[in-house]
Amino acid sequence: MNFLTCFKVPEVAKSMAHLLVTPEERKIIEIIKDDIYSIKDLSTLIEKKFNVNGEELVRKMYKRAVLNKVEVSDGIYYKTSEFYDRIAYFCQYETDIWLSVPRKIRDEIDDWYVTTYAETAEPRVKEVIDGKKDVIENAYFFTLQETLDLIDSLDKQIYSVPCNCNAVSQRCEKDKDVCLLFETGINTQWDRGHGKLLTKDEAKAIVVRADKNGLMHTSETDQAICNCCGCCCYPIRASKVIGTTGIWPKRRYDIIWEESKCVNCGRCVKICNFGAFVKEDKKIRYVEEKCLGCTICSSQCHVKAIKIKKI
C-alpha cells in the first residue's frame, strides 16, 4: 500500500497530504501498514532504514499524531495513525503550514472533517437517545456558573490546548487557546506532549474570558470543557448534519428575554452565535426559534434583561 492508502487520506486532501509528514515518516508509514510494533522493534526497524535515532523518531511521530499507541496485554505498541487523527494536530501546532494551503482546499477538508465526525458520532448519539449510554463528548451546554463550578469540583489535572475546531476551520478570529482537557491516557494531547498545565483559577479565568468573547461552554464533565463558537464548533455543526440540534449538545435551559428591562445596547446581538437576537431600528428583537439555549447571552447581559429557565 502507498502512503495515501495507508494513511487513509481523503480525495479532497491528496494535493496537500505531503505537508503532513516528512519523507522519512512517509516511508515508515508505508512499511508499517496495518501492523503494530513495540517501541523497541519499531526503533530497530527505523534505524536499519534511516541514519537516525529510532526511539527518538518514534516519540516525535507520536507527538505529531503520525503514530498512535495501542494497548495490548503485554504492553503499549505503536501503529500508524490516519489523516483524520493527524489533521487536527497539524492545524493546531503547525498552523502556518496549514494556512499556506489554498483556502478552497482547506474549506473542502473542513467540510469533510465535519461530515466524517458526524458519521462517527451518530451511533454514539443514538445510544444516548435510546438510553444505552449516559453521555458522549460535548454532551451538554453549560452556563458560565456551572462551568466554573465544574472546574472547582474536578479532582483531575486541567490543561489547555488550542481549539481544534477553530484550528481546522479558521472561520473566525475568536480566542483559540481555550480548550480545557482532563484526559491524560494514551493518544490524548497530554500523553503526546501537548498542553499547558493550569491551576483552577487559571482555568476559570479562561472560561470567563471565553464567555465575554462569545464562546459557548459544552462538557460531559469527564473529558473536557470546550469553549467554542457557532461557526467553528464541530459538535454543533455535526449535529446539524445528523439532525440532533438541541439534543447534542443538549439544551437544558430556555432563554427568557424581558423586553421591559432591555436598554437596546446590542450586546446580546454581538454575543449570540445563532442570530437569535437582532437589532432593527435601534430596538432589540428576540428570535426564539433560532436559540439553541447556550445561555452566554444571559451571563453577558449587564442589565439582567435575559434570564434562563431550566427545562
Domain ranges for the chain: 3-83, 103-242, 253-310
Paired residues of 283 in beta bridges:
280
Task: Retrieve residue 56's grid coordinates.
Answer: 527518538
By percentage, how much of the chain surpasses pLDDT 90? 97
Q: Is the pLDDT of residue 28 over 80?
A: yes
Long-range contacts of 132-136 (CB under 8 A, 24+ apart): 135/220, 135/221, 135/222, 136/220, 136/248
Instruction: Determine the pLDDT at residue 135.
Output: 86
pLDDT tens per residue across span 278-297:
999 999 999 999 999 999 99
Give the model's confidence band at 75: pLDDT under 50 very low, under 70 low, under 90 confident, else very high: very high
Structural contact between residues 233 and 168, judged by C-beta atoms closer than 8 angstroms? no
Proportion of the chain in helix, strand, coil states, percent, rounded to 5 = 45, 20, 35
Structural contact between residues 168 and 150, judged by C-beta atoms closer than 8 angstroms? no
pLDDT tens per residue across span 193-209:
999 999 999 999 999 99
- Evaluate whether the domain defined by 3-83 bears CATH number 1.10.10: yes
The average pLDDT across 27-34 equals 96
The average pLDDT across 120-130 equals 94
- Evaluate whether the domain defined by 253-310 bears CATH number 3.30.70.20: yes
pLDDT tens per residue across span 210-238:
999 999 999 998 899 999 999 999 999 99
Length of the chain: 311
Task: Retrieve residue 200's grid coordinates.
Answer: 483552577
Equal CATH topology for 3-83 and 253-310: no
